[in-house]
Amino acid sequence: MKRLLIAVAVLALAAPAAAGGSYRVVLSEPEGGKLLIGHAGVQAADERNSDVHIRVISPGNEVKERGTVRVLVMNYGSEPFQVGPDEVKLQLADGTVLAPTPRQKFLKGHEVIRYQMNIKRGIAVASGYGCLDPRDIDDILRDPDTTGDHSVIDGLDQLLVPLTIGPNEAWGGYYVFDVPKSVFDKRTDQPLTITVQIGADEHHFPATLHWKGNSGTPVQLR
């Protein structure tokens, strides 16, 4: 989870600041699936059948001009399929699509903190905390709250990019999206559907783009 939170912070640095209030992506229990609630507002929605296991994770962070969710997929079937940004869609009830952020927009923010992150990584290694065995994606599918404690910069390198997933293989990453000004200006809760397309099948995860005003009241998860 540490890498997730650091990646979210870095991506936020790359976005222009918005005045007053913010949104959160709050997941609901998917039809035929289950909702897991972690620490600090982290949520994970699971859908699983004999062919595929999909997990959508909301980190519970602020969403202003930019936000992020994480999508993880395991292929239990006999045929390969592709997973990447084109297979993910975030759409509000009024039809507005929260389009993916072009990677080049936040590469600058990535580079700005790389030096600080490398220092932190060096300290961790010196303290004996940077030498943990990496966890595979199947571990992450089972447990969204502990993604290992290896290099903190790895989170940014796990952006969701197109990849063909063969049988018994897994893939996933951060889907970073932009929020249009017209959406932000509404400053109210808005129903949201996160769709993950696997081959010809669409898997829908209900959610809410939840408005948090200036009062500082935290998101209430149920």
Farthest-apart Cα atoms in the chain, separation: 52
The confidence score (pLDDT) of residue 94 equals 96
Per-residue burial over 181-218, b = 16 or more CB atoms within 10 Å of its CB, e = otherwise: eebbeeeeebebebebebeeeebebbbbbbbbeeeeee
Domain assignment present for residue 221? The answer is: no
Domain assignment present for residue 220? The answer is: no
Tell me how far apart the alpha carbons of residues 75 and 62 are, in angstroms, rounded to a whole number: 31
Domain assignment present for residue 19? The answer is: yes
Domain assignment present for residue 153? The answer is: yes
Q: Domain residues for 112?
A: 2-212
The confidence score (pLDDT) of residue 87 equals 97
Radius of gyration over alpha carbons of the chain, in Å? 17
CB contact set of 183 (below 8 Å; sequence gap of 6+): 92, 96, 98, 190, 209
Domain assignment present for residue 93? The answer is: yes
Domain assignment present for residue 222? The answer is: no
The confidence score (pLDDT) of residue 99 equals 94
Residue-wise pLDDT for 151-205, tens only, equals: 333 445 578 889 999 998 998 888 989 999 999 999 999 999 999 999 999 999 9
What whole-number percentage of the chain has pLDDT above 90?
Answer: 46
Mean pLDDT in the chain?
A: 75
Length of the chain: 222
The confidence score (pLDDT) of residue 106 equals 56
As for how many domains the chain has, the answer is 1
Residue-wise pLDDT for 83-112, tens only, equals: 999 999 999 999 999 999 887 765 555 554
Question: Taking 50 as the threshold, does the pLDDT of residue 147 lie above it?
Answer: no
Tell me how far apart the alpha carbons of residues 147 and 44 are, in angstroms, rounded to a whole number: 13
Mean pLDDT of 115-119: 45
Domain assignment present for residue 219? The answer is: no
Question: What are the φ/ψ torsions at residue 204 (nearest 5 degrees)?
Answer: -105, 130
Domain assignment present for residue 79? The answer is: yes
- Indicate whether this model's pTM tops 0.75: no
The confidence score (pLDDT) of residue 77 equals 94
The confidence score (pLDDT) of residue 96 equals 97
Residue-wise pLDDT for 5-53, tens only, equals: 445 555 554 455 555 789 999 999 999 899 998 888 899 999 999 999 9
Question: Taking 60 as the threshold, does the pLDDT of residue 132 lie above it?
Answer: no
